[in-house]
Chain A
Amino acid sequence: MKSKPLIIAGALAAIVVIAGVFVIALNLVAQQGARPAVGSPAPDFTLKLYPGYRAGLPEEIRLSDLRGNVVVMNFWASWCVECYKEADALEAVYRKYKDRGVIFLGIDYLDTEAPALAYLQQYNITYPNGIDLQQQIARAYRITGVPETFFIDRDGIVRDVVIAPLTEAQLSARIDKMLAD
């Protein structure tokens, strides 16, 4: 059969292409990892804080350096309409708990600096905020969008995740629970 080697060559070529795509897919999956479940350790990361939004912290902070504090980690973006709804609540609750071992971290997702800083100014945000460079933190936490808020206890364990705008009452209830534990 004259066409047999041609079929084999075609099949091998297809295998090469499929294998290449498979390798890429595996790499992407390996890069993304699994979403940190409630009760599991919060993945560590480094966050570069915006000037003027450090609240006494260094320019670059590691989550692991904040161990011993309750951490409220909020993913947001200036283009996110839903984020506007919780901006005031986040700031109000931060002011309420900031002297009680609670640290708020705003993680700016897929944003350019000028609109991000304008957003922070517009809502009088004072808690630490920084840019998630190359979406490394968003990937580590497998966020599905913004806003998304992770509650991390004093031992660095994820205690809750909320994928929606939060109210002051919802924020306070979760923080109080972690402070009580």
Chain B
Amino acid sequence: MTFAKTLRAFICALLGVLLLGRSTANVVYAQVPAPDEETYRIAKQLNCPTCAGRNLADCPTETCAQWKAEIKAQLDQGKSAQEVLDYFQARFGPTVLQEPPKSGTTAPLWAAPIGAAIVFLIGAGLVMWRTSQRNAPAAPSTPQSEGEDPFVAALEREVRQSE
């Protein structure tokens, strides 16, 4: 075997190994999230039922462990993330969700900041408008004829009287 043939075989083998490695890497990166990751992602959207203000995903209590097991079980059954969230909302109510629905009793919670922002913007706009009005250069006064000027008229009257 000549040196050129040996080199060609070596390069082909090297390319083969690189391509194989690349395809393997592709398989790794193309993987869908493992069930545990998906469980965690869904749990992040739910509240701990027994400890106020705590996220289900980060809660170590027995209740939360059961709920996370339930999420995993439902994912293993082929349910989508939304279906799992719907199940928890139907069973435990909307307060189980980290982000409460924008309707019903929680509507004012969402509307209040928007309303406050509108009121504030209107007020700020009013301030800016008034400031701009005050800082605007005064309009030139209309020249008046001598006869119309009350000061001139009064002066003329006094001159006439003194005469």
A positions within 8 Å CB-CB of B? 2-3, 5-6, 8-10, 12-14, 16-17, 19-21, 23-24, 27-28, 31, 77-79, 110-115, 131, 133-135
Contact = CB atoms under 8 A, between A and B. Distances in A.
A111 B131 CA distance: 61
Contacts of B19: none
Interface centre among B50, B62, B108, B115 (most CB of A within 10 A): B108
Interface residues of B, number: 33
Interface string B37-67: 0000000000001100000000001110011
Contacts, number: 89
A17 B92 CA distance: 28
A133 B116 CA distance: 36
Given A79-B63, A114-B70, A20 B122 contact: no
Interface in B113-129: 113, 115-117, 119-120, 122-124, 126-127
B91 A133 contact: yes
Interface of B: 49-50, 61-63, 66-67, 69-70, 73, 90-93, 105-106, 108-109, 111-113, 115-117, 119-120, 122-124, 126-127, 130-131
B105 A110 contact: no
Given A134-B92, A134-B93, A135-B92, A112 B70 contact: yes
